[in-house]
Amino acid sequence: METRANFVLIGSFTLAVIVAAFGFVLWFQSLHTTKQRSPMRIVFEGPAAGLRNGGSVNFNGIRVGEVISVKLDNPRRVVALAMVENNAPIRKDTLVGLEFQGLTGVAAISLKGGEVAAPPVPLDEDGVPTLTADPRALQDVTESIRATLQNINRVVADNQEAVKNSLLNLETFTSSLARNADKIDNIMLKVDGVMGKAAGVMAKTDNLMIGLNTLAGGKDGGELFQAVKSIRELADDFDKRSGALMADGRRTLGDISRAVNNLDKNPTRLLFGAGSSSTPAEAPKPTVPERPPAAQKRQ
């Protein structure tokens, strides 16, 4: 129980610290904003349609403040209180009106123009700067809204038949979709099947590419690399052996050429061998026996 109570105390203290820090941040931000902005009262002598709390205050199209309060001062007067940046160059002759973002957007207070040398915004009885909106500007905005709405009504009226036909076509199309819902489901199933087959083909393609990658550049250079290397080594060995064979052939052809040349010069070498000569041998002279001296004398 004591351990659980400690956990609850620690959790409560942590939450309290978080809430206090969050509140301090909000207070500091509010204080900073208050120092940067000052209140300003905008009086509309007529309707201010679309203006509400949180609306923007724009000076020449740039946001410089925010509406914090809108109320009726009398049946024909609307008073808006806004917080406006202190550095906004608002003067006594600045024109005040309303502007809208689109047809259904929230209205924003529009501040325009003013001379640089003009005096600042006059203060009301309570010390708050107060500007009065130009009724002509408000009338221009109202007239623009009315003209836009009239144009929209005119376009719709002129194209009433086309709009009606478009709606009928849309209804026919949706009815056709409802009637063919089963066929559409079957087509989608077939498409899913085709996509599944395509996924299978892509998987096989990936496996094929992986196999080719392994064959071309896997471990130790890949099988294709090893095969090319073996063919290269075989070609180099054949080149070396063919070179030696060509050299032997050249020597053999040289020997045959020399033998043929020798045969042309001395054909008898083929019949009598290498020791024979081209000149025929002379017959040996017969030897006469010498007579003794006595026999010579008798003669």
Kindly report, residue by residue over 216-252, the tens digit of the pLDDT.
665 555 566 677 677 778 877 777 777 777 777 778 8
On whether residue 109 sits in a domain, the answer given is yes
Q: Structure pTM?
A: 0.39
Segments forming the whole domain that contains residue 237: 189-241
One-letter identity of residue 185: D
Identify whether residues 132 and 200 lie together within a single domain. Answer: no
**Range among 95-104, 189-198, 227-236, 260-269 with highest mean pLDDT value:** 189-198
- Report the length, in residues, of the chain: 299
Identify whether residues 37 and 131 lie together within a single domain. Answer: yes
Residue 81's φ and ψ, nearest 5 degrees, are -110, 130
On whether residue 49 sits in a domain, the answer given is yes
Domain count within the chain: 2
Identify whether residues 139 and 209 lie together within a single domain. Answer: no
Give the whole-angstrom CA distance, residue 118 versus residue 93: 7
Q: Which of 149, 168, 201 marks a domain boundary? A: 149
| Poorest-pLDDT segment among 140-144, 155-159, 236-240 | 140-144
On whether residue 193 sits in a domain, the answer given is yes
